[in-house]
Chain A
Amino acid sequence: MRLEGEATLEPLPIPHRLNCLEGTMAKYIGQRVKRTEDPRLIKGLAHYVDDIRLPDTLHVVFLRSIYAHARITKIDSDEATKAPGVVAVFTGRDIGDRIGPVPCASALEGLKVPDHRPLARDKVYFVGHPIAAVVATDPYLARDAVDLITVDYEELPAVVDAEEAAKSGSPVIHEQFGDNIAYRLTAGEGDIDAALASADRVIRQRIVNQRLAPVAMEPRGVLARYLPGEGELTIWSSTQIPHLLRTQLALMLGIPENKLRVIAPEVGGGFGSKLNVYGEEALLGWISMQLGKPVKWIETRRENLQATIHGRGQVGEIEIGCKNDGTVTGLRYNVIADLGAYLQLLTPAIPTLTGLMLSGSYKIPAIQINVTAVFTNKMATDAYRGAGRPEATYVVERAMDLVAAELGLDPVEVRRKNFPKPEEFPFKTATGLFYDSGNYEAALNKALEISDYAKLREEQRRARDQGRLIGIGVSSYVEICALGPSQAMPAGGWESATVRIEPTGKVTILTGASPHGQGQETSFAQIAADELGVDINDVTVIHGDTSIVQYGIGTFGSRATAVGGTAVLKAIEKLKEKINRIAAHLLGTDASLVAFSEGRFSIREAKRAAAAGEVTAAGPPEPKPNGKKSVSLKDVALAAHLAKDLPPDMEPGLSATYFFEPKNFTFPFGTHIVVVEIDRETGDVKFLRYVAVDDCGKVINPMLVEGQIQGGIAQSIGQALYEEVVYDEQGQLVTGSLMDYAVPRAHMIPRFELDRTETPTDVNPLGIKGVGEAGTIGATPAIVGAIIDALAPFGVHHLDMPIKPETIWRIVNRS
């Protein structure tokens, strides 16, 4: 076992050293480079929103609804307004239409969009719905004053269960719509009825992807400062999308976008929950504009669980048809998607991503998804790590296990039989996607080899004979990453980079991506350091400030490196042309004769140049009389800025910007194999092995890739075994604190055995596919599959998540 019992200070064993990218200098790319962002974080010197201190800041605390569904008949805030330290109290009626609706970016046909304002007006629609904002000189005093506001509610029946919400007799949440159906959608290709009719077997199973809470360790937070003289509003927000947020807030607040600055400072995790536009962000800006002072709101964890978006929330039924040899003929997924009370930025889009990914890593000739998306009196669901793809993977992988169980085949063989072959890529699915590249069997085989699968099955048989309950689960996933081509995205799918070489030769990268833990300050610096031949410590990566960084899209959908990293590379390529020309000018030669090595430019030897066929007819120009033999990047940078001696007609300065538009998504894949043992007496699940072979294409920094995969799997373990947002029948949030919502702790997570295969993509020149969500997408069905396999002797074919010890104990002990 790695590290165990070692007493030396040898460098850590490196399990899977990476291949460098071909054709680069690769001093950094592909290496386990320590993160450049870490020193400030491990010293406690970083600045998250709540760490930013402005003089005279006022503090906002919200009064939120205690009912899931009620009419507000009266709000009395007189006493609160007079309370010590209180500067103002605002309600939805005070604000009226002066702040525009909270936006939803989805443009599905027939979508019903409720009017969603930052503060409730006449009705509240979920527990935690903000009703009033108290502004005071001190957060404790603001909190005190919240208790002095009285609200008269007329309680209405709460619609909590998504399946009930879809029924015609259900109470209606948004009366103007007549029912609770936000939209219906049917998608997919192939004749599904014929495919199922021609199958030897058709298996049906109800499958639930329960609601989850993203629980970034840093809750949300907003600091807003309006400067009336300059007419400028600055909003610091814990967000994944500073530029998109700026555009939306400008529209909501009616102020010019070029007078609005959004800063995402250090952001303590997002997992999709900060890929949004929240009412609080607009409201804080508006309050600062009213009062002319900075105002701050820091979300409590209770608010975070109530009123930050949730994820998943799908209840469905699958029908999968197969031949007796295990060949899948068709898959239908009828699903009710629980959207919650309002549509946040991408709420309606999540089930559509599920539909797109229903082919999994298999050739399925006919696929159909029928979505019924419903409003419920709960917080909105939206993008949580994986965002629709974990749901799809879970559905497809469970289906493959059900086929295997039905036919008495090994689940590995059923998967292998249905994989497209490497030569079939780009592979078109019946959901309309083109998978860029893949070798699914190679990843599967590697996982089988590492886990010694055949031996595992033997051991399992022996263990069963001894009465032990051991299960093996397999998942061969594919995911959609590097989001994405702008045609397929609500607000542009490109990413931007500016690379600037300062007069002293230091390199500054401005990226439109907005990393919040993923480590792109390091991986982008790795790209630049290799491409420009500089020390990585001479590169600084700046992100998250809309006044400094050119427009960008942000960090989500496993896109920052694949799309944003490519923008960095392309900007450098543009810059290199100019660098070469300046270097040639300084050396008194032609740009085609400049050689670059170890950070210095020099004139290629005439012989070598001639041999390479690159000498112009006139031959290489003579070096200037005072010419140098070589110049450094620093010399070039200084010359570019002094501009006293540049090639004729050349612009001064040394900076290039590139907006990279990907031509397709990427489709990373892999196989996870999980071995569990069940404790008969307690129903506890113990992990014996966790093997993951992931293929995310080429890799910039394997250490960061491992971190992403491990963290992703841990969140999957959370979904499989522990986590669930629970509302009771009245719509009260039962899991309203971290005492009740079970985020996994260190001892609940096993050691992972990771490996990779490497299938490059031609979607971007770096050949990278993205890895931010892979663990969360691939792992859940493997874990559930292992538990169900362990319980197979009891006739179990399926269980809903989270699979709690009590559920298992009852199965084991019922006889």
Chain B
Amino acid sequence: MKTTVRMKVNGVEHSHEVEPRLLLVHYLRDVLGLTGTHIGCDTSICGACTVLIDGQAVKSCTMFAVQADGAEVTTIEGLASNGKLHPVQEGFWECHGLQCGYCTPGMIIAAVQLLERNPNPTEDEVRHGLEGNLCRCTGYQHIVEAVQYAARKLGSGS
């Protein structure tokens, strides 16, 4: 009783027969081989699996793959364009916004959406905006700085 699921992931069309119970995160990782999206909990708390679905940041462990049928999905692998890092990725590198790197893909995706909604966030707004993503290494300060770096970069239009 497999079901066909079609979605555009990082600009590429995919179509697969999958079990209805297959989680989106497992579809991305195990069927498409996009292992940049990580799994850090069983309860949709940690945010490591965050991806963009039709522009919305979603924890991909909360959705079945079939629920994303017809959607456009962006994962961490699809964020850089033409070999150029997204300003949020650049900010994380510049400001030492990561240590072990495990939460980083989800954190970066969440920050991308945060800046789309609020292009010039205060420190407090960044901290609350990233409430859905856990990091155990950084103490968050460099992550906040990374997001504000990206905000400045995006704001300057470069």
Contacts and interface: CB of A to CB of B under 8 A. Distances in A.
Interface of A: 1-4, 6-9, 12, 34-35, 37-39, 41-48, 50-51, 53, 140, 215-219, 266-269, 271, 298, 300-302, 516-519, 703-704, 706-707, 709-715, 737-739, 743, 745-747, 749, 751-752, 775
A117 B133 CA distance: 36
Q: Which of A267, A269, A518, A775 has the most CB of B within 10 A?
A: A269
A44 B99 contact: no
A267 B136 CA distance: 13
A6 B37 contact: no
A517 B137 contact: yes
A711 B98 CA distance: 10
Interface string B5-46: 000000000000001011000000100011111111111011
B131 A44 contact: no
- In the A-B complex, the 4 residue pairs with the smallest Cβ-Cβ separation, listed nearest first, are A44-B36, A268-B102, A517-B100, A41-B101
Interface residues of B, number: 68
Contact of A707 (B29, B96, B127): B96
B93 A140 contact: no
A4 B122 contact: yes
A1 B123 contact: yes
Contacts of B36: 43-46
Contacts of A48: 35, 38, 102
A751 B144 CA distance: 9
A747 B21 CA distance: 34
Contacts of B65: none
A95 B120 CA distance: 60
B139 A38 contact: no
Interface string B135-155: 111111111110011001101
Interface in B88-133: 89, 92-96, 98-105, 108, 120, 122-124, 126-128, 130-131, 133
B139 A749 contact: yes
A729 B148 CA distance: 47
Contacts of A737: 41-43, 45
Given A7-B152, A43-B76, A711-B136, 7 more contacts: A9-B158, A38-B98, A38-B101, A714-B139, A737-B43, A738-B46, A751-B141
A182 B80 CA distance: 55
Interface of B is mostly: loop
Given A711-B136, A712-B139, A738-B45, A218 B94 contact: no
Contacts of A215: 136
Contacts of B144: 746, 751
Contacts of B104: 41-42
Nearest to B134: A743
A266 B40 CA distance: 15
Contact of A3 (B38, B48, B149, B158): B149
Contact of B101 (A9, A46, A271, A746): A46
B97 to A, nearest CB: 8
A46 B105 CA distance: 11
Contacts of A45: 36, 77
Nearest to B125: A747
B136 A271 contact: yes
Contacts of B80: 43
Given A38-B98, A268-B101, A218 B40 contact: yes
B145 A2 contact: yes
A739 B45 contact: yes
Contacts of A219: 40
Given A38-B98, A219-B40, A739-B45, A745 B134 contact: yes
A707 B136 contact: no
B145 A519 contact: no
B139 to A, nearest CB: 3
B93 A39 contact: yes
Contacts of B94: 12, 34
23 contacts: A3-B123, A3-B145, A3-B148, A3-B149, A8-B152, A12-B149, A41-B104, A43-B80, A44-B105, A45-B77, A46-B36, A140-B19, A269-B102, A301-B42, A703-B96, A706-B96, A707-B96, A707-B137, A707-B142, A715-B136, A746-B143, A746-B144, A747-B131
Contacts of A775: 139
Contact of B93 (A34, A50, A53, A746): A34
